[in-house]
Amino acid sequence: MNQLKIFLLIILSIVLLIPAGINVANANRTMEPLTNGYPGDTLKALGLLVERNKVSNNTLSIKYARLALEIARKNDSINDLVDAYKWIGKAYLQNHKDSSFYYYDKALKIADSCHLVKQKIHVFYNIASLYSAAYNYTDAMSLLDSSIRLAEIVRDPEGIANAYIALGNIKINIHDHESAQKMFGLALKVAQKDTLYKQMGVAIGNLARQPFEKDTLKSLEMQREALFYLRKVNGVEEEMAYIYINMGYQSRVPDTALFYYEMALNLAVNANLFKILFGAYNNMAYSYLEKGNVQKAEFCLKDRAIPLAKEKKDYDWLSSLYDTYADVCVQKGDYKKAWEFEKQARKYLVADYRQKASDQVRLLAALLNLKSKELLIQNEEKELLVQRNRLQKTELWLVIALLLVLGSFFTIFFLQQRNRAKFQKEKIGSAQRIIEMEETEKGRIARELHDLTGQLILGMSGAIENIEFPDPEIKDQIKARIKELGVSIRQISHRMNRAMIEHFTFSEMITGLCEDVKKLSRMNIDLEMPEEFPDLSNELVLHFYRIIQELLTNAGKYARESHVKIKIFTNNGKLNLLYSDDGPGFTVGEKTRPSMGILNIFERAKLVGGQANLKSIPGKGTSWEIIFPMDQKYIVKN
């Protein structure tokens, strides 16, 4: 009877797979045979379809996964059951992460109880993606490390490479670019050794990104190499499309950029990758604006991307697309419509935040529920252990007491040293957290300033547009000045945000800062620095930039009419800053309480293993000498 049920399920699965097979063929993709006379072959085919439809048609993907689970439950194979739970977890991962976690947890428990090491490797990897989605990067990295260790034991190079790539992406999210580059490099090394084309292409594509490769030509060459390997594999349309979009973004010639966006668009259409489709149309609109073709830019948004985004209820991309549409309207001179689209962008942004918050709450609830169950089991096991070993612990405490008496002197000495080191570490850690909070607040202010500027400029431009001037040239001059003001404020907001390190060179950042201060304060600033510097870490650059920002801020407050001199140079592996002004100066001493700005300068120098020396005499100006080591090993980690 059971065999008859299995046979009927196989026939049903074949009927369901026929239309999907036609769609796959239309997308120029091959598919493995559905069955070879054994239900396990059908399960593999269903798993393949779950993978291929999880993004483009999630409802269909869930149906395939549930059918696979129903077939697996009728089999005697534990491996098939674990595979089915993994597939249903993948199907729910797109839109129902809490349900996804439930099935992954079931797969892990079965694999763990039956010692299925290879299965645990992939389950760990998938559960790590859920922890990462919940921003619990610590547990996600722990699971990926476990996945790598198990994969090394059973010699699973694909599992190792995938885990290193996932670790690299997490490191990027926490802005640890040095470790991220190392993870992608390890993934590439494993993939090259075993000729894993997909992992080779993904690793090279990541290493070509701007945080790691600053030479645009070399980055484009690496991305072409990544595409070469990915073309050897089926089912990697999403990875290839992202690379094409990155290449288009890096291209300075609009026609070249449009070529790459068209390539990404073709892949997105064939594979039903809607988020990539939205990104391609959005970037194409900006490329057409660069060419001055406003009609085509508007066509990409109004007639293509926005209607489809509304159909898919993708509020995140709707917000971005309407924001881009507002820029198109500004280019056309239609400020009223631009203002309306900016309001639409805001509305969809709020809707997206609410949707993501709801999903996040459900996922966190599922994770916390599991944690609670695990803690309950652990507490019960500990209680049993205490009852069994009570007598042994009594004897052990007697021995420990004797050892403590004999070693009391050494213990006290060790505790004193440890407390001193702990106090110093906590002091540095507190300073680092305060500075991190300050950077976060500056980033928030920069974003608000950027958004507010766009609204104000649009409002002012729209108001002036409706005013009749006796002389049209005056009206044009006012509009031009308002536009220049908007550009200047946007540049200032960009430099307030720590993300500027990935977009500007060190020389451009310092020069831009000095130019901004000159415009705003009319101070006389002499800047002397070489055009090129050796590679500097992002953390060192950020602290150095903030120190110069603080020095110029203090000069603007207390020495506005003075002559400021700044000299930056490298010497013996160290980055040096010499600052001086002929302002009023102040008294430096133990009885004088330094300002928060001065304390920030000293703390930032200390955090990167450098030093700062201040000299100031009332009536004779102020000078600073600040030295940063360029070697990464001196940077303090919290």
CATH of the domain at 327: 1.25.40.10
Q: What angle do CA 604, 608, 613 make, to 5 degrees?
A: 55
Q: What angle do CA 227, 233, 236 make, to 5 degrees?
A: 70
Handedness of CA 510, 516, 519, 521 (dihedral sign): negative
pLDDT at 354 over 60: yes
For residue 527, list its beta bridge partners: 566
The first and second tokens of residue 408, run together, are 């009391």
- Cα dist from 196 to 124, 145, 187, 189, 455, whole Å: 21, 20, 10, 10, 50
Domain endpoint, select from 290, 323, 355: 355
> Tell me, what's the pLDDT at 1?
43
- In the structure, what pLDDT confidence band is assigned to residue 90 with cuts at 50, 70 and 90? confident
Average pLDDT taken over every residue of the chain:
77
Q: Is residue 625 part of a domain?
A: yes
Asked which of 81-95, 117-131, 353-367, 398-412 is least confident by mean pLDDT, the reply is 353-367
Q: How far apart are CA 347 and CA 598, in angstroms?
A: 42
Where are any strands of DSSP class E within 317-374? none
For residue 565, list its beta bridge partners: 526, 580
- Cα dist from 503 to 15, 251, 510, 546, whole Å: 52, 15, 13, 16
* Amino acid in position 379: N
The first and second tokens of residue 83, run together, are 């595979």
> Do 525 and 514 meet the contact criterion of CB atoms below 8 Å apart?
yes
What is the arithmetic mean of pLDDT over 102-111? Answer: 82
> Tell me, what's the pLDDT at 188?
93
- Greater confidence (36 vs 396) lies with 396
Percentage of the chain beyond pLDDT 90 is 21
pLDDT at 261 over 70: yes
The first and second tokens of residue 188, run together, are 């590439």
Asked which of 330-334, 388-392, 403-407, 532-536 is least confident by mean pLDDT, the reply is 388-392
> Do 325 and 302 meet the contact criterion of CB atoms below 8 Å apart?
yes
Q: How far apart are CA 325 and CA 562, in angstroms?
A: 46
Q: How far apart are CA 426 and CA 174, in angstroms?
A: 21
Helix (H) or strand (E) holding 19: helix 2-26
Q: Is residue 47 part of a domain?
A: no
Q: 634: helix, coil or strand?
A: helix
What is the arithmetic mean of pLDDT over 68-76? Answer: 82
> Tell me, what's the pLDDT at 260?
92
Can you give the length of the chain in residues?
638
Q: How far apart are CA 536 and CA 573, in angstroms?
A: 11
**DSSP percent split of the chain into helix, strand, coil, nearest 5:** 75, 5, 20
Q: How far apart are CA 635 and CA 638, in angstroms?
A: 10
Q: Is residue 91 part of a domain?
A: no
Q: How far apart are CA 127 and CA 104, in angstroms?
A: 7
CB 110: neighbour CB atoms within 10 A?
A: 18
Helix (H) or strand (E) holding 464: helix 408-465
For residue 617, list its beta bridge partners: none
pLDDT at 236 over 80: yes
Q: 537: helix, coil or strand?
A: coil
HEC string of 86-120 equals HHHHHHHHCCCHHHHHHHHHHHHHHHHHCCCHHHH
> Do 618 and 590 meet the contact criterion of CB atoms below 8 Å apart?
no
Nearest alpha-carbon partner for 584 in 536, 628, 619: 619
Q: Is residue 348 part of a domain?
A: yes
- Greater confidence (308 vs 129) lies with 308
Q: 186: helix, coil or strand?
A: helix
Asked which of 128-132, 292-296, 418-422, 504-508 is least confident by mean pLDDT, the reply is 418-422
> Tell me, what's the pLDDT at 265?
92
CB 391: neighbour CB atoms within 10 A?
A: 8
Per the listing, tokens 């489809």 go with: 308
| DSSP secondary structure letter of residue 593 | P
| pLDDT tens-digit map of 430-476 | 555 655 666 566 656 655 555 556 556 666 766 676 677 777 777 67
| DSSP secondary structure letter of residue 572 | T
Helix (H) or strand (E) holding 438: helix 408-465
Per the listing, tokens 């001193």 go with: 420
Domain endpoint, select from 355, 383, 407: 355
pLDDT at 19 over 60: no
How, if at all, do strands 563-571 and 524-528 pair?
Answer: parallel
> Do 61 and 91 meet the contact criterion of CB atoms below 8 Å apart?
yes
Q: Give every CB contact of residue 503 below 8 A, 6+ residues apart in sequence.
A: 210, 494
> Do 187 and 168 meet the contact criterion of CB atoms below 8 Å apart?
yes
Domain endpoint, select from 325, 355, 385: 355
- Greater confidence (381 vs 610) lies with 610
> Can you list the alpha helix ranges (DSSP code H) found in 213-273?
216-230, 237-250, 254-271
pLDDT at 282 over 90: yes
| DSSP secondary structure letter of residue 580 | E
How, if at all, do strands 574-581 and 611-616 pair?
Answer: unpaired
Nearest alpha-carbon partner for 28 in 250, 195, 266, 207: 266
Q: How far apart are CA 105 and CA 112, in angstroms?
A: 10
Q: Is residue 580 part of a domain?
A: yes
Per the listing, tokens 């259409």 go with: 269
> Tell me, what's the pLDDT at 227?
93
Query: Buried (b) or exposed (e) across 74-92, using 16+ Cβ within 10 A?
Result: ebeeebbbbbbbbbbbbbb
> Which residues constitute the domain of residue 635?
524-638
CB 535: neighbour CB atoms within 10 A?
A: 8
Q: Is residue 296 part of a domain?
A: yes
Percentage of the chain beyond pLDDT 70 is 73
Per the listing, tokens 């990541």 go with: 206
- Greater confidence (412 vs 453) lies with 412
Q: Is residue 562 part of a domain?
A: yes
The arrangement of strands across the sheet holding 611-616 comes to 524-528, 563-571, 574-581, 622-629, 611-616
> Tell me, what's the pLDDT at 135?
77
> Tell me, what's the pLDDT at 364?
63
Q: Is residue 394 part of a domain?
A: no
Give the number of domains in the chain: 2
Residue 175, burial from CB neighbour count under 10 angstroms (0-12, 13-18, 19+): middle
Asked which of 106-115, 186-195, 267-276, 296-305 is least confident by mean pLDDT, the reply is 106-115
* Amino acid in position 247: M
Nearest alpha-carbon partner for 563 in 591, 519, 509, 526: 526
pLDDT at 276 over 80: yes
Q: How far apart are CA 61 and CA 526, in angstroms?
A: 64
Q: At 545, which CATH number?
A: 3.30.565.10
- In the structure, what pLDDT confidence band is assigned to residue 6 with cuts at 50, 70 and 90? very low
- Cα dist from 75 to 65, 82, 118, 349, 400, whole Å: 16, 12, 20, 47, 56
